[in-house]
Amino acid sequence: MPLLTTARFHTTVAALHQLPRDGVVEVAFVGRSNAGKSTAINVLCNRRRLAFSSRTPGRTQALNYFSVGPADRVLGYLVDTPGYGYASAPLETKHTWDQLAGRYLQDRPQLAGVVLLADVRRGLTERDLRLIDWVPPSTRLAVALTKSDKLSREQARRTLRTVGAELARLRPGAADSVLLFSALNRSGSDELARVVENWIETGLPGSPQPPAA
Ligand code: GDP
């Protein structure tokens, strides 16, 4: 069974001291509100309502943990972070995001990789760039340009190249990946699922590889 389809809700973390202490590898999903993050998580895990977006901006300022692996053995966590970037969100909400999700991204040893979801029609926003800046160089990063069905193939490819160039400038030498994704026609979903599963299976950069079976 594909690893991500085993995803089930694990816990909600509203403050840093509640983060799991079991050392299990984590992959975080980040993106501005409405980027299509919840939809993408559901497509990747082949579930209808595993993750759901809060319709009220900034309402769910918490990290939602989903575990993957056999029922009796957690192999990794998918961590859904609150959407950001609502211009109308109160300053307090922005502060909460920085204090919880921002600090989590910057200082979480078991964080193997970050998936940044961005609407292909917008490309990377200032806020996305600031967030990318927070991801440690040793943590892997994939940018999924969502809703690719909304643009022509040529337009989508142009954004793909632009974002690839931005990443190469921001994180030189990092093996980041950028891909086009559509929940509507599922393009890019197998590719993104493989990236995430690979991060979970290979563990943390620099950590010993699991013994070959
Ligand atoms: P979130 O706030 O980032 O979790 O965003 P959602 O997953 O709730 O998606 C925001 C809106 O975009 C919803 O109306 C989705 O139906 C729509 N959406 C998400 N992914 C796609 C996609 O790949 N294609 C299209 N056309 N719409 C999408």
Residue 194 has pLDDT above 70, yes or no: yes
The pLDDT score that the predictor gives to residue 156 is 98
How far is ligand 1, taken at its centre, from the CA of residue 36, in Å? 4
Bridge partners of 65? 11, 79
Average pLDDT of span 191-212: 81
User: Which residue CA neighbors atom 20 of ligand 1 most closely?
Assistant: 36
35 lines ligand 1 (CB under 6 A): yes
Residue 87's pLDDT band, with cuts at 50, 70 and 90, is confident
Structure tokens at 55: 């319709």
Kindly give the interhelix angle for 126-134 and 153-170, rounded to the nearest 10 degrees.
40
Whether 200 contacts 25, CB under 8 Å: yes
What would the two tokens of residue 108 be?
């979480």
pLDDT in tens, 26-35: 999 999 999 9
Q: Is the pLDDT of residue 211 over 60?
A: no
Q: Is the CB of 64 under 6 A from ligand 1?
A: no
Give me the sheet containing 177-180, strands edge to edge. Answer: 8-13, 63-68, 76-80, 26-31, 111-119, 140-146, 177-180
Which of 136, 142, 144 is closest to 205 using CA atoms? Answer: 136
The DSSP call for residue 98 is I
Q: Please give the Cα distance from 212 to 140 (Å, whole number).
A: 23
Average pLDDT in the 156-172 region? 96
Residue nearest to atom 26 of ligand 1 (CA): 147
β-strand 111-119 against 26-31: which pairing, if any? parallel
C-alpha of residue 35 to centroid of ligand 1, in Å: 6
Ligand 1 centre distance from Cα of residue 26 (Å): 23
pLDDT beyond 90 at 88:
no
- Centroid of ligand 1 to alpha carbon of 118 (angstroms): 11
Cα–Cα distance measured from residue 103 to residue 51, given in angstroms and rounded to the nearest whole number: 22
Compute the mean pLDDT over every residue in the chain, rounded to the nearest whole number: 91
Asked whether 8 lines ligand 1 (CB < 6 A), one says no
Residue nearest ligand 1's atom 2 by CA? 34
**Cα 172 to ligand 1 centre (Å):** 30
**Is the Cβ atom of 102 under 6 angstroms away from ligand 1?**
no
